[in-house]
Amino acid sequence: MLGSLESKLTAEVAEALAGRAAVLVVTAPLPLAVPAAGERSIRVSLEEMLPESNFEAERTGFSGASPGVQIRRVVQLGFVARVHATACPQAQSTAEINHARQLLMEDLSLVVHALDAPTYRDGHDLAGSDPDPGYEVTEFHLSKGGVHPELIDNCLVGELEYEGKAHIWPPGVSEDAGEIGLVDAVVEALPVDIRAAQTVVRPGGQAAVRVKVLSRLRRMDGNATAGMRLAVTVLGDLPLAERGTITSGTAATDAAFRLHTVGDAPVDITYAAPPGPITRARTEFVAVHLATPDGAPGVFLGSTPIRIVAGG
């Protein structure tokens, strides 16, 4: 997982500096001591994990090809990686210090250039070599860097800081995914135009609700809305038995809903307010969903309010 990512990043930094004399690339926590005089060291470390707060409808990853697709739960994290560079001059003289500084800055420049390739920025070249490495990098970029102007313990020190995003999961933890047999796509501008002809009714009264623009709904095969239906219900604060009802349409699998066939013309829905006197006005909502093929409520499209007031 993250340990594998840290090792992979270290290997890529070492590749960028291949052929450079007197430089050692290690993974944190080494080196514990400063390099010897005339030598340089590069330490790569993954130091911070940052939770991603963006809304995610699913936290699921897929691998493989059908049949045999695998599914697993993944966690998306931001991370901070640091490339810490140390160069110790051969002697504490102006010429040797300047030479060591030059070498240090060349080392960092080579790393910056190598890790700025598009295949690193999109995470492709940070992929693990194992079939299931436990991570996938999706973003990677340099956030800042610099070289200290003063000597620290008689050595020169520089650092590069990288930020990235990755999905992580325990390697080998997955299960067989189900197969999607049918996809029925709907393209529609939301909210749909849903309007009641009468927005205020008396107890026992009725209101006509019209759903427009559904003629723009299209199926994946390009055909119009033939065979598509709406599932309509009434929402409110009172229990279902005390609310108004939808009297138009046909029965749905859920008794609280009524089905209405969609055609090229607007769909007309009839709302009936509950009978009997009321002590104070209240509002109910006619809620419209797309119906699933088996007649259950599916995607919510919108609603319109209807006010019930006392008779008089």
pLDDT tier for residue 182 given thresholds of 50, 70 and 90 = low
For 35-181, strand residue ranges (E) read 40-51, 60-63, 70-73, 75-87, 135-147, 156-168, 175-176
Q: Is the pLDDT of residue 233 over 70?
A: yes
Mean pLDDT of 117-123: 93
Separation of alpha carbons 164 and 143, rounded Å? 9
- pLDDT(157) > 80: yes
Residue 138: per-residue pLDDT:
92
Architecture field, domain 194-308: Sandwich (2.60)
- Is the per-residue pLDDT at 3 higher than 50? yes
Instruction: Indicate the pairing of strand 135-147 with strand 297-308.
Output: unpaired
Residue 89 has a pLDDT of 94
Higher pLDDT, 72 or 79: 79
Q: Which of 287, 300, 288, 282 is nearest to 237 (CA)?
A: 282
> Which of the four pLDDT bands, split at 50, 70 and 90, describes residue 300?
confident
In three-state secondary structure terms, 282 is: strand
Q: With cut-offs at 50, 70 and 90, classify the pLDDT of residue 169.
A: confident
* Confidence check: pLDDT of 46 > 90: yes
pLDDT of 173 > 70? The answer is no
Structure tokens at 79: 């991370």
Structure tokens at 306: 């209807």
What proportion of the chain, given as a percentage, has pLDDT over 90? 55
The whole-number pLDDT of residue 218 equals 45
**pTM for the full predicted model:** 0.54
Residue 22, amino acid:
A
pLDDT class for 175, splitting at 50, 70, 90? low
Residue 179 has pLDDT above 90, yes or no: no
pLDDT at 180: 55
Give the pLDDT of residue 50: 84
State the pLDDT at residue 268: 94
Instruction: Please give the average per-residue pLDDT across 174-186, as a whole number.
Output: 57
pLDDT in tens, 91-100: 999 999 999 9
Fold: same for 2-176 and 194-308: no
Give exposure, 114-124, as e/b (b: 16+ Cβ within 10 Å).
ebeeeebbebe
d(CA 205, CA 253): 26
As a whole number, mean pLDDT of residues 220-227 equals 50
Share of the chain above pLDDT 70, in %: 83
The dihedral formed by the CA atoms of 283, 284, 286 and 291, expressed in degrees to the nearest 10: 150
Considering only CA atoms, which of 173, 110, 181, 116 is closest in space to residue 143?
116
The region of weakest confidence among 55-59, 126-130, 252-256 is 55-59
Task: Quote the DSSP letter at residue 171.
Answer: T
| Digit-coded pLDDT (tens) for 50-59 | 877 554 545 5
Residue 222 in this model has a pLDDT that exceeds 50: no
Domain spans of the chain? 2-176, 194-308
Q: What is the mean pLDDT of the chain?
A: 84
Classify 2-176 by CATH class: alpha beta
Q: Write out the two tokens for 225.
A: 């809305």
Give the pLDDT mean for 266-289.
Answer: 91
Q: What sign for the dihedral angle of Cα 137, 142, 148, 151?
A: positive
